Amino acid sequence: MNTSLVTLLEDSLLLLKPTLTLGISEFDLIALLKRPPYSLFDEDALRDPLMLFQTHFLVFHALYKLQIKWRESGEGRLDIHTTKILLRDDIQPQNIPLQNKDATQAQTHLAGLDPLASYYLNLDNLKGTSEADVAALLDDFWRQMAGQKLGVPNTKDRDKACDVLKLDKQNILTLNSLKAHYRKALLKVHPDRGGNVEEAQQVIQAYRVLLSSLKRV
């Protein structure tokens, strides 16, 4: 499964943590993710009912994964509802038996407590088919959301993105290389590691540009 695209959404939501501590509706959150510097969702694509559902599902999928992450680290309890998504600083003791579990075990544990978490954490529910079909659907969905249906990024945008991620413009770009440089660049500038939000947004934007222009072999 092309998990790099889901990771891009998760990283963007991490940068919006201050917004989540204030509370925001799903509609307003998606609106934020549509605008620069994130630009994850295409306005035209969101007018299609199926695309709108897929957007909702993937946003909630990422939110429930963050719910686990923040609960494990003791950063707070993420309440997830369409009308309000809110990160609270209160964590009830009975809700923290996840710290000694790996990611899969944590998701399974949370799913047992929350039927909605069970639904959204399972990407197969995005389309009731095989994992390969879900991966293809995700790939098509994200490429449309990234605006690839309108054409790949121009050379200037691509070169700028390569500079941000410290990639050699002359080398053939591969998904593995892109992911490695993206993760390294994001770790350097992430607010949690002494960086700032603006630099992290630039890295995410560069990754989105190069991801949408990447040719499959």
pLDDT of res. 142: 62
Find the range with the poorest average confidence among 98-102, 116-120, 140-144. Answer: 98-102
**What per-residue confidence (pLDDT) applies to 111?**
47
Q: Each residue of 38-54: pLDDT tens digit?
A: 888 877 656 766 777 78
Note the pLDDT tens digit of each residue in 162-215.
999 999 888 888 888 888 899 899 988 888 778 888 888 899 888 888 887 775
Give per-residue pLDDT as tens, 49-103.
677 778 888 999 999 999 999 998 899 999 999 889 999 987 654 444 444 445 4
The residue ranges of every structural domain in the chain are: 1-151, 152-217
Query: What is the C-alpha to C-alpha distance for residues 79 and 85, in angstroms, rounded to an integer?
Result: 6
* H or E segment and range at residue 14: helix 3-15
Transcribe 90-132 into DSSP letters: ---GGG-TTTTS-HHHHHHHHHHH-HHHHHHH-GGGGTTS-HH
Amino acid 89: pLDDT: 87
pTM of the complete model: 0.68
Tell me the C-alpha distance between 5 and 115, whole Å.
25
The fold of 152-217 is: Helix Hairpins (1.10.287)
The reported pLDDT for the residue numbered 175 is: 82
d(CA 153, CA 217): 19
Contact 201, 38 (CB under 8 A): yes
